[in-house]
């Protein structure tokens, strides 16, 4: 039996493990990018909601009499919240579907 051939096989396994590490890192980076995007979307939704609340308070206190700006701020906050909720629903739906897969 030629031992040098067996050493070559172990080198192939090392190459395979290196490639798996790169693929795993790429997957982790992809998940991190999606997670960061979702987090920024939540922060933007929160900012728009806070801006709408500030516009409401400003209008209620008489500091602003422009109802157009108030309505625009409220609609931006509302649409952003609806979008965020729909994204959350789709993520939960995908998670449930993945959990139902049988390997």
pTM higher than 0.95, yes or no?
no
Specify whether the backbone of 46 is left (phi greater than 0), alpha (psi in -120 to 50) or beta: alpha
Let me know: does 79 contact 51? Beta carbons within 8 Å. Answer: no
Answer whether residue 2 shows pLDDT above 50.
no
Read off the pLDDT of residues 17-57 as tens digits, 9 standing for 90 and up.
555 555 667 777 887 888 899 899 999 999 999 999 999 99
Given this model, what pLDDT does residue 3 score?
45
pLDDT exceeds cutoff 50 at 86: yes
């Amino acid at each position: 039996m030629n031992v040098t051939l067996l050493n070559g096989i172990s080198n192939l396994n090392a190459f395979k493990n290196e490639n798996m590490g790169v693929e795993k890192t790429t997957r982790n980076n992809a998940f991190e990018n999606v997670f960061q995007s979702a987090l920024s979307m939540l922060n933007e939704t929160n900012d728009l909601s806070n801006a709408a609340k500030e516009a409401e308070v400003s209008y209620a206190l008489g500091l602003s009499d422009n109802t157009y700006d108030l309505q625009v701020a409220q609609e931006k906050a509302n649409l952003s919240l609806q979008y965020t909720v729909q994204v959350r629903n789709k993520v939960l739906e995908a998670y449930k579907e993945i959990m139902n897969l049988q390997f």
